A and B are shown apart, each in its own frame.
Chain A
Amino acid sequence: MLARKLPLILHNLPWSVSSRAGSDLARRHYDVIVVGGGHAGTEAAAAAARVGAETLLITQKIATIGALSCNPSLGGVGKGHLVRELDALDGLCGRAGDWAGVHFSILNRSKGPAVWGPRAQLDRERYRQFIQSELLSTPRLTVLEGSVEELLVSQSNPNEPGHHRVTGICLVNGSQPILSSSVVLTTGTFLSGSLFMGQTTTPGGRIGDAPSCSGLSHTLRETLGLRVGRLKTGTPPRIVKESVELSLVQIQTPDKEPTPFSFLNTHTHCKPEEQLPCYLTHTTPGVERVVRESLHLNCHIQQDSKGPRYCPSIESRVLRFPGRQHQVWLEPEGLTSDLLYPQGLTMTMPPDLQLRLLREIPALHRAEIRTPGYGVHYDFVCPTQLNPSLQVKSTQGLFLAGQINGTTGYEEAAAQGLWAGVNAARAALSLPLLALCRTQSYIGVLIDDLVGRGVTEPYRMFTSRAEFRTSLRPDNADIRLTPRGFEEVGCVSLRRYKEAVRVRDSLQEGLAALKSVTLSSTRWREKLVERLQVINFCSFSISGLDLLQYKDVSFEMLAAIFPEHLSPYLEFSQRLNIEAVYRPHCEKQSREIERVQEEESLSLPPDMDYLSLPTSLSSEVRELLDRVRPNTLGAATRIPGMTPAAIVHLLHYVLRTAQRNQHTGQRVKAACKP
């Protein structure tokens, strides 16, 4: 039961997609138009179609849909959480990862299940093919090759907040506009993007692709009045595998038993023994020397826009932490690829110097570069201008996702894409927009951080950003999200829903069964002799659930003692182990979670006039609220500088207004239902 169906791989796949698109073009009106075919765009288009919207995906080149522009890997610590959650909501990337992975490992295996990081090295070709064939076979989804010239907006609907309303897009060379109710922009680094290598600068968002049209950027800034900022990122040179001295590097082997990303898969496409290794090597003082000598030839590094602190170029690493050895991972690019990807060597110096730098590393002393590294500067839209639905506050029907919101990483982009796609479809179908709470998911944490606090540097997910980390684990993403995804959101298939419900019920029953098997400490000791030496019990009756909290005890051991009670749940032994250990900690958190959810359920009207609100708020607080314009009372409490008293005044005002509105038939809509 690997992927839903084996992808139909056609050699002339791009052609077949565009021909299909050609026949549908006559429609000229869609529910949702998604601009961009990267990780955000593909998830957005697929999610919108799953929710039930007639969807059009527009991309510059159909051939690059699903391309991994940077590193050939998916998941990791924090990012793996996002992939699992995306899969729980029936997103693409988890299953694509299982299909394309060539090296699977769970990072942080020794640090506790809450921070396990499922990760895979990917075969670029397979990943692209999976995504393309998946999109091709998604009902209600049309793919079109083209470049967007202009975003079309009109007067807003007076019954809803916002100054404008999206009506569609205009293509470059397109004779007629294509109309739609919603538009999702996932333009990545293409918004006023410029590429840097050495001292040369060319407009564009990715090497080998044409730059996006400047009209879009102009509309966002001038017509819609959105605030934009500038960020930078980069990618390393690709190295010819044969030119690497593999005898001089450490070999990193994958997990013997690959763990799939997707809750639907029991095994990965790649057989365990067919997996490829990764290699580890280190920088030398020579690398530092080349960086210093080439600084005057390096425009990218001289620019003062913000780059990621955690994905820095080798230049900035060396400059910030001189005199150290830095790790360099050499990652496979695929089963048939002859290239290696040097993770940690992002650089933007001139190509001849890139080669000199690489060759300062012993294992790369005769390395050959296939394509040099380069840097990208691009515009992002300050995400505090969005709602938690990822809709632009001032523009009805316009949704943004991915790097355009100031994030970095495939998984972060995909997560926003899925949620923007869901809401774009819901808006088009006149369904209420939805938010994911930060108490429920990492996707919720990501979006809440973005729209609530904004970004000052490319935003990446870390587990330490999630205050409810012990509850939001990769193992339980299905229980957390799939039922809601089906019942309320509408982006999950019936098959997945049924499976998640079966798992949820079985886990509950398994835990109940564990609780029901009790013995005295002496009896337990007799049965588990060698394992229980360190454990001292003072209680007479100890349940299996209590016992499972000790690290030397496993569900399998207990099932061997009580086969009639516990063996039906052996399928879930790992998850039951985790549940037993984490349950007490999650229960402690649950009240706090409830409190946050209650606060999140009270939305603040987006057009509230804080400056003249007839309640006693200090002018400082008024200005703060006016600037940030929180969506919910919960978001208001997280604004630095808010006072408890101000929150109470705000609550009072909103409750009073809500009560008044009830008489007139209006309701304050919950933004985040627990």
Chain B
Amino acid sequence: MLLSTPWRLWRSAISTLKSLSRPAPVRHLSIPTDAVCDADTIFALSSGHGRCGVAVVRVSGPASSMVLRNMTGLTQTLPPPRTALLRRITDPHTKELLDRGLVLWFPGPHSFTGEDSAEFHVHGGPAVITAVLQGLGSLKGVRPAEAGEFTRRAFHAGKLGLTEVEGLGDLIHAETEAQRRQALRQMDGELGHLYQDWSSRLKRCLAHVEAFIDFSEDELIEDGVLNQVDSSVHRLQTEIERHLGDERRGERLRNGVQVVIAGATNAGKSSLLNTLCQRPAAIVSPIPGTTRDVVEASLDIGGFPVLLSDTAGLRDGLDSVEREGVRRARQRVEQADLTLVVVDSTQLPTEPKQAPTFLQGYLSIVLPQPSGGNPEEGREATSDRVLLVLNKSDLVPEAQKERTERELRESLGLPPACFLSCHTTTGLGDFLAVLQSRVKTLCGNPLSGAPSLTQARHRAHLQQSVQALSQYHQYRNHDLALAAEGVRLALTHIGRITGRVGAEEILDIVFRDFCIGK
């Protein structure tokens, strides 16, 4: 029946050999982060956000040349490798002009990641950056990078040595932390509830399809179950699509560096806010517990956007309103890029040598405790993200102030401290200088999580989710396994925003909603 030519034998020998060959070790090992596919082309803002002259957007992956062509109108030839070229950068779909900027082309393997890569150097305004990121995200097979993904790919391609992997762990840690804080902020509001709602509805859809696949032959699972899933999937698709089309009305992004003022009641937190804003944004009164909710003000500090929040004094409040205020205050501190911990100087110990211990204790009450992590790491993180403001300095004798300052400078493990009087504005200039340099560092750090990038990531996942749902309809009537795969993919993508969903969770819904008795 089959011809046994030498050619055929040769081919089967080759295929056997292929199936036997094992991948080489070490160099090919992946560093798992999430179920992300390396075939995708990724992009990220690799310079800081905020007001900066030039912003750099990096692209890496097989579709990089396509991206370059689509964004710059270079239809025929790509720019010469590793040479800057001034181009009009346009939206890939509307061809609307986004900016004029430099583009660079790095064909693999001579790039940071070893893959084909491209860079866009555009003007640093938030509007331009957001437009470019959204344009990139709208291209097929292109998505925002996950935490540490550029470095991970570089490692994959053997561009990083073993010693650099250690640094990679810390980098991924920093990025995930920054993204977590950023995501917490975004997920707090209406948008978060919307995503959660979609995720739980998708979970239910998947559970019901799975129940139908695994149990309908033996159990009473009515066909109506699938019809319900059909309409649920359809509704979800419409809702997500409408949300994606509705760019302008999206929730206001909490743009800028998040600076939170925290401390004990009546330490002068609201006075500090007012001093910084030079307007009474928060009511100031000598009664402890005046600020019960979070008061926000947008500021410009040294040219960088800052969102300053005043919080309720941290004490065990007497009434429920105040308790809620304290809860929100703690939540804010957890999400903050920078916390200004305000201390009433008159409460400092009169013996300056005891001041560091006192302040350590104070900080441990005000700041959220680092969960589990080793204390070294926690302290380091704290001093980076905290400034101590010793308010009401006008009420402390000058000599004590000077000796205390000296003690604090010499003590290790405390964040920088500034004496200040909101009342007389003495020390305000020094404090502003420290604050400004700190904000600048934060802004210049791409890790602090640009909101526009978070938004672009969300959009990309939502788009992929909608695409996956269309697979459900495509296969619904003749291959339920492939249809279910569509819902599963959609859920995976939403899960990247709201958190992963495991098989056990789906089975829990199955057993809750159906009487399975086989």
Contact = CB atoms under 8 A, between A and B. Distances in A.
Interface of A: 76-78, 107-108, 110-115, 117, 309-312, 314, 317, 320-321, 324-327, 329, 343-344, 453, 462-465, 467, 469-470, 483, 487, 501, 504-506, 508-509, 551, 568, 581-582, 585, 591-592, 594-595, 598-599, 601-602, 615-616, 618-621, 633-634, 637, 640, 643-649, 651-652, 655-656, 658-659, 673-674
B480 A467 contact: no
Interface stretch (B98-106, B334-342, B370-378, B417-425): B370-378
Given A115-B481, A620-B373, A645-B169, A633 B517 contact: no
A643 B506 contact: no
27 contacts: A76-B218, A76-B518, A108-B480, A111-B480, A114-B481, A310-B517, A324-B220, A326-B517, A343-B518, A462-B210, A462-B507, A463-B214, A463-B481, A464-B210, A501-B16, A594-B23, A598-B29, A598-B30, A601-B23, A637-B32, A645-B169, A648-B31, A651-B31, A652-B166, A655-B26, A673-B22, A674-B23
Contacts of A311: 517-518
Interface stretch (B33-41, B233-241, B269-277): B33-41
B469 to A, nearest CB: 15
Nearest to A633: B32
Nearest to B510: A464
Contacts of B371: 618, 620
The 3 closest A-B pairs by CB, nearest first: A620-B372, A112-B479, A645-B173
Contact of B478 (A505, A551, A649): A551
A155 B295 CA distance: 69
Contact of B503 (A464, A508, A582): A464
A648 B169 contact: yes
B35 A592 contact: yes
Given A112-B481, A311-B518, 15 more contacts: A76-B518, A107-B218, A111-B213, A310-B215, A312-B517, A320-B515, A329-B218, A344-B517, A463-B210, A464-B510, A465-B503, A644-B34, A644-B147, A649-B166, A652-B165
Nearest to B500: A640
Contact of A112 (B173, B478, B506): B478
Contact of A508 (B15, B26, B217, B479): B15
Contact of A599 (B32, B475, B506, B517): B32
Interface of B: 1-2, 8, 12, 15-16, 19-20, 22-23, 25-26, 28-35, 37-39, 147-148, 162, 165-166, 168-170, 172-173, 176, 210, 212-220, 371-374, 377, 475, 478-485, 502-504, 506-507, 510-511, 515-518
Contacts of B176: 643-645
A621 to B, nearest CB: 8
A326 B220 contact: yes
B214 to A, nearest CB: 5
B474 to A, nearest CB: 11
Contacts of A651: 29, 31, 165
A509 B4 CA distance: 12
B180 to A, nearest CB: 10
B517 A652 contact: no
A621 B32 CA distance: 16
User: Which one of A76, A464, A640, A647 has the greatest number of beta carbons of chain B within 10 Å?
Assistant: A464
Nearest to A320: B515
A331 B165 CA distance: 60
Contacts of A327: 218-220, 517
A317 B517 contact: yes
Nearest to A119: B217
B515 A114 contact: no
Contacts of A602: 29
A463 B37 CA distance: 23
Contacts of B19: 483
A581 B479 contact: yes
A618 B176 CA distance: 15
Contact of B31 (A508, A634, A647): A647
A509 B10 CA distance: 13
A467 B169 CA distance: 27
Contact of B220 (A111, A325, A594, A656): A325
Contacts of A616: 169-170, 374, 377
Contacts of B478: 110, 112, 551
B213 A115 contact: yes
Contact of B20 (A469, A487, A646): A487
A80 to B, nearest CB: 11
A621 B372 CA distance: 8
B496 to A, nearest CB: 13
Nearest to A623: B372
B169 A310 contact: no
A112 B475 contact: yes
Nearest to B214: A462
A621 B448 CA distance: 24
A321 B479 CA distance: 30
A330 B291 CA distance: 71
Nearest to B173: A645
A464 B213 contact: yes
Given A581-B479, A645-B176, A647-B31, A506 B515 contact: no
A113 B482 CA distance: 10
Contact of B30 (A325, A326, A595): A595
A613 B37 CA distance: 31
A651 B25 CA distance: 13
B148 A326 contact: no
Contacts of B372: 618-621
Contact of A117 (B29, B147, B217): B217
A592 B8 CA distance: 31
Given A616-B374, A651-B31, A652-B165, A585 B516 contact: no
Contact of A585 (B8, B485, B511): B485
B515 A324 contact: yes
A77 B217 contact: yes
